[in-house]
């Protein structure tokens, strides 16, 4: 579900999302099929505004809760998610620079918590976090062509601790 509202030189957007997967067989019910297809509900918001006649800025945030019960659709078991949430915060700008160039800086921070408890009640703490920062330039060439050149720097960190084992 998406909703948007224009407010003067700004625009507000809100989002609610829900996806759900469930399979019922004689052996029981599996919801979300383990780490690969979690049940998701989330809330997001974004705001874009004109700083001046040559610069627009957009910021956004997204929060999601991802859950599952049972690690296999064919033989459901007691495995399930172990709480945790997912989030993303992002921002970008669009600055007109000259008659045929638009510069677009962007930044993003995110975190995915994929912690779970398996069928044998062994807890796994698992988290993927990261950041991204980049810049792109859009040049108009002639009257019908566009040339885009950009660069992006990314830092990802994955940590996993299974039971009492080291991270």
Task: Express each pLDDT in 88-121 by its tens digit.
Answer: 999 999 999 988 899 999 999 999 888 888 878 8
pLDDT score for 95 = 95
Q: Would you say the pTM of this structure is higher than 0.85?
A: no
Average pLDDT score, the chain: 88
Using an 8 Å Cβ cutoff, are 163 and 122 in contact? yes
From CA 137, how far away is CA 97, in angstroms rounded? 10
Comparison of pLDDT for 10 and 68, the residue scoring more = 10
Q: Using CB atoms within 10 Å of the CB of residue 166, give its burial: 0 to 12 exposed, 13 to 18 middle, 19+ buried.
A: exposed
Which range has the worst mean pLDDT, 7-11, 17-21, 75-79, 98-102? Answer: 75-79
DSSP state of 68: -
User: 36 falls in which pLDDT band (50, 70, 90)?
Assistant: low
Which range has the worst mean pLDDT, 53-67, 74-88, 118-132? Answer: 74-88
The tokens for 77 are 């078991």
């Amino acid at each position: 579900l998406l909703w948007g509202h224009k407010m003067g030189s700004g625009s507000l957007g809100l989002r609610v999302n829900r996806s759900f997967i469930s399979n019922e067989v004689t052996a029981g019910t599996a919801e979300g099929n383990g780490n690969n297809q979690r049940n998701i509900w989330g809330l997001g918001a974004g705001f874009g505004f004109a700083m001046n006649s040559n610069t627009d800025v957009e910021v956004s945030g997204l929060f999601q809760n991802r859950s599952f019960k049972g690690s296999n659709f064919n033989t459901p078991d007691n495995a399930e998610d172990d709480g945790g949430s997912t989030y993303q915060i992002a921002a970008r700008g669009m600055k007109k620079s000259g008659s045929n160039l638009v510069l677009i800086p962007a930044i993003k921070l995110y975190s995915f918590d994929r912690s779970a408890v398996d069928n044998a009640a062994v807890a796994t703490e698992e988290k993927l976090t990261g950041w991204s920062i980049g810049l792109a330039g859009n040049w108009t060439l002639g009257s019908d062509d566009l040339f885009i050149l950009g660069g992006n720097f990314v830092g990802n960190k994955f940590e996993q601790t299974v039971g009492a084992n080291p991270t």
